[in-house]
Amino acid sequence: MTTDQDLEAKIAALRASFTAGLAARFAELDTAVAAIRPGVPLNGQSAPIKTIMDQAHKIAGSAGTFGYSEMSVIASQAEMLCDRILKNGHGGDEAALTELRSKIAGIRAELKS
């Protein structure tokens, strides 16, 4: 193998590892979303929101590197939404929760595209 082929093989292996690891990240996201209690102010539920923010940050930071540029964008948007929820409240804002769920679904959908 040439040096270029070696590099391409290593990048392909890293991409495969990242892609395989997304299942665990998606499971953490799903668990955190399920832990959010409807009707309770979102900013009062910092643990699941912080988990979502952390996972979204990790996905946003790596996804673009491995060819998932739109996933990276959506994950970054989810991270910023979590930050706004934690800083600004949103009360029991169902719209913010719906948007957050939509962003998470969007992250997952990009893996399939």
Please give the torsion angle defined by the CA atoms of residues 38, 33, 36 and 85, in that order, rounded to the nearest 10 degrees: -90
Q: Tokens for 93, please give them.
A: 């804002």
Q: How many CA atoms lie within 13 A of 1 on its CB side?
A: 8
Residues 52, 4: Cα–Cα separation, whole Å? 37
For the stretch 24-38, pLDDT in tens is: 999 999 999 888 877
> Which amino acid is located at 87 in the chain?
K
The pTM is what?
Answer: 0.86
Q: What is the pLDDT of residues 66-88, one digit of tens each?
A: 999 999 999 999 999 998 888 87
Ordered by where they begin, the domains of the chain are 3-112 (1.20.120)
